[in-house]
Structure 1
Amino acid sequence: MFAKKQTTGVNRRAGPKKTEQPLKGENAKNVAGRPTRRTELVDITNATKEQSTKDGKKKLITDPLKPRKTNIPVNIQQQQASRLIGKKAEKVKEVHNPALPIPKSEQTSSSQKSNDSENLSPTEEEFSFIEEGEASPQVAERSLLSFDEEKKDDEFHVAIYAQDIFDYYKRREFMFRIPSYLGTKQCHITPAMRAILVDWLVEIQENFELNHETLYLAVKLTDLYLSRVEVDKEMLQLLGSAAVFIASKFDERFPPLIEDFTYICDNVFDKNQFIEMEMEVLKRVDFDLGIPISYRFLRRYAKVARSTMETLTLARYILELSLMEYSLVSELDSMIAAAALYIAMRMRSEGAWEGDVIKASGYELEQIKPLVPKLNALLHSQPDARLKTIFCKYSHIVFHEVAKIKPLETSELL
């Protein structure tokens, strides 16, 4: 479906057009496809004038931290200050005078802004993060979970805030709830096309060695955009690539270059198209990239459950398969993560869904049971010949070959 090139061996720092050997002299200045080296940026927030000295060094003309001397008498300075304060007070009165009519230009611009914000993400002010009947954290102090209690002295674990952070994530989930959009908002895109796109995004994540959080955020951004803006199927690959590009900037220390993305798309889209799509996606999510994703919930639940790395990897495999399933798009990420971990725990006969795991996730077993058959069906279904990236990925020894584990029957899980 997509025009793509083999991504294996792509140099993610400067794209595929880098030369094998370092060049010297004039040849190093004009290499096709190599971005020019940019000089170090100056701190423009504290820009000051410089002058050269005899020894070639530069020094500041004035010390920006040193107070300036003035020859104006103190009484005149006080008079000037009082005049300025009086003028500012008059301006404030003029701005806040309710009797003044609003210019027509301002009226039209405000109405235009309201129309433009129809498809944007809801803001935090529209949600109450304290549930009805629940006391605020300052009033109702709760004891730490046993896992957090053990990590209390670890500054990087922030044990006293860990559960509050994930409770906050769970409440933010409702800001990014995705409705069913295929057949309504998107009439030319099918679940199969979306599955092919997600499979390709997994391939990008694997070959560029990106974090898993980057993959999950990219899929979430893609679904959010598709639920709000009608997209032609020819532009679906551009949307997915731009979503990975945005997510990389948010989650990676060294995100891939834009030339890398144009290359893996076989140069079907140019650099300007990528930048335009990037801006469009960011506008539709109101530049809010702090989206709760299922992968972060899974890691938290697995830590509290004290799951082994094999069990966690198996749950990650189930969770990654869920990204391709369109019917799970409207489900809460925290609940999908809980169901994936529960299935993995049962498949490996490791632990039970009780105690601190219920407290950490906020879900009883009865609440996640409706999702268990859907996720278990993904394990039983034979992978499509075109959609084997996830299966091959988790069949590798690095991922403990969890994709080869025989799944349980649904009746054994419920």
Structure 2
Amino acid sequence: MPLPRNSKCANGKGLRSSKTQPVENTRGEMIGAMESQEADKEESSQAKRSPSSPQGAPKKRSAFGDLTNAHQAQPTQFKKEVVKGTAKKVLRSSVTHDLSKNNEINSKKFGFKPLSEEASVSSEPTVKERLMSVQEKELKPVQEEPILVNEEPSVEGASASGEPGPREQMPGMEEDIEKIEEDPYANTEYAKEIFKYMRKREETFPVSNYMVKQHDISKDMRAILVDWMVEVQENFELTHETLYLAVKLVDHYLMHVVCMRDKLQLIGSTAILIASKFEERCPPCIDDFLYICDDAYQREELLSMEISILHTLNFDINIPIAYRFLRRFAKCAHVSMETLTLARFICELTLQDYDYVQESASKLAASCFFLALKMRNLGKWTPTLERYSGYQSSDLFSLVKRLNFLLTYQRHDKLKAVRTKYSHKIFFEVAKTPTLDMLKLEEILKNSP
């Protein structure tokens, strides 16, 4: 049964104070615990805010307000939300004081580790870091970078700027990237079989030209939806795998079901919910998705759409995505994080463009990575990349030209979520990287082996 709106959600992010105090607690301690519980109830009714995100706080809006005219913005709503947010800041500071006091008492009484000791052992954010004030986060945003690939210094293949590129190899020479992997969590023993399995599953999930049977929605509406989904991924601080999988779920669902435009945002938000349950350790609550849709849909509609998507896809949602292949190829080439991020930017731009939905994830990832190498002048497609990607450089030329055209000539110039996201310093401002001239790219591809 769905939980009521103000109830505590086990899947919600953030701190949830669920421990009850012993009977021997003093009166002051019990009052502190009661205030903490009241603060939790108040916080659970609000949508998640991500001040450390490049885009700032989540935008409570309908993605298709200009198309459906479902809701009109009221001038008084902004004032209410500002007052509510201010009250929340004051409340959060009092909660921080009470929690720190209770934690100190519990640590002395039950022998718990202080937060400073736990921080040295765990790489996860501590309670103090989670309860940083909004003002402090806005003044000094947390510089969280995506997962780094193995960066090893290499003289061969270095660019003019000194960045290591794909290692130069003798003809027929291939490198075993699993053999040099030292991370025990990288599953090196199974990596080859895993990606071989993912390549095989690509044949199970082809995407047809479903827009021919969709009479009420268009390619541009789908682009607007994906642009909004990128903002949701940023504001909720979800992984990129969640975003890619959610877009895949939307495409595969629309292949089988004719959709009306007033339900398109419902499909998108439900797809993010399903992908979050599949990819995230702590997926957002249902109330969060209702909030970001500006309460355009009811809770029952969201749950009903979740059932519809899962039944339509036969509960088989482990769809291969290009993002995973990109990390694999970057590891093969030993490139820097900046080059990998540039390839991710190119790949994320394709999510909005309907013309790329029929491309396989592995080929799309290989082409984006190939173009990123050429944009940064980092060498050629090595035998190791050929082996682990399954594509020769000549197989990618046609798709690489299309990707460079997408970068050079912005088709959806009004949808700036992806470009704004990758213009941030966290992502090395790769969106500002100069694009290749089409004639120059033709010459580069001709000279490529």
Q: Please, what TM-score do these two structures have when normalized by structure 2?
A: 0.61
Task: Determine if contact 1:177/1:330 at 8 Å carries over to the other structure.
Answer: yes
SS state at 2:179 partner: helix
Farther-moved stretch of structure 1 (331-340 vs 164-173): 164-173
Q: Distance in 1 between matches of 2:355 and 2:323?
A: 18
The aligned counterpart of 1:94 is none
| 1:28 matches 2:56 | no
* Count of matched residue pairs: 289
The aligned counterpart of 1:150 is 180
| 1:315 matches 2:343 | yes
SS state at 1:175 partner: coil
Q: CA deviation digits over 1:281-312, x for unaligned, max 9?
A: 11111111211100001110111111111110
| 1:211 matches 2:239 | yes
Structure 1 residues 26 and 209, CA gap change in structure 2 (3 angstroms): closer
The aligned counterpart of 2:303 is 275
| 1:243 matches 2:267 | no
The aligned counterpart of 1:172 is 201
Q: Please, what TM-score do these two structures have when normalized by structure 1?
A: 0.66
SS state at 1:277 partner: helix
Structure 1 residues 171 and 411, CA gap change in structure 2 (3 angstroms): farther
The equivalent position to 1:367 in structure 2, one of 383, 395, 399, is 395
Task: Determine if contact 1:178/1:330 at 8 Å carries over to the other structure.
Answer: yes
Task: Determine if contact 1:391/1:403 at 8 Å carries over to the other structure.
Answer: yes
Structure 1 residues 154 and 397, CA gap change in structure 2 (3 angstroms): closer
Letter paired with 1:170: R
Q: Distance in 2 between matches of 1:23 and 1:233?
A: 47
Give identity over the alignment, percent: 45
| Unmatched runs of 5 consecutive residues or more in structure 1 | 1-11, 15-21, 36-142
| 1:351 matches 2:389 | no
Q: Distance in 2 between matches of 1:263 and 1:25?
A: 25
Farther-moved stretch of structure 1 (333-342 vs 367-376): 367-376
Q: Distance in 2 between matches of 1:409 and 1:199?
A: 27
| Unmatched runs of 5 consecutive residues or more in structure 2 | 1-11, 15-31, 46-172
- TM-aligned CA deviation for residue 164 of structure 1: 2.1
Q: Distance in 2 between matches of 1:232 and 1:265?
A: 17
Q: Distance in 2 between matches of 1:30 and 1:365?
A: 55
Structure 1 residues 357 and 385, CA gap change in structure 2 (3 angstroms): closer
- TM-aligned CA deviation for residue 31 of structure 1: 5.4
Q: Distance in 1 between matches of 2:280 and 2:36?
A: 34
- TM-aligned CA deviation for residue 23 of structure 1: 8.6
Task: Determine if contact 2:174/2:384 at 8 Å carries over to the other structure.
Answer: no
CA RMSD of the aligned region, Å?
Answer: 2.5
Farther-moved stretch of structure 1 (293-302 vs 381-390): 381-390
The aligned counterpart of 1:342 is 370
The aligned counterpart of 2:189 is 160
The equivalent position to 1:287 in structure 2, one of 294, 315, 332, is 315
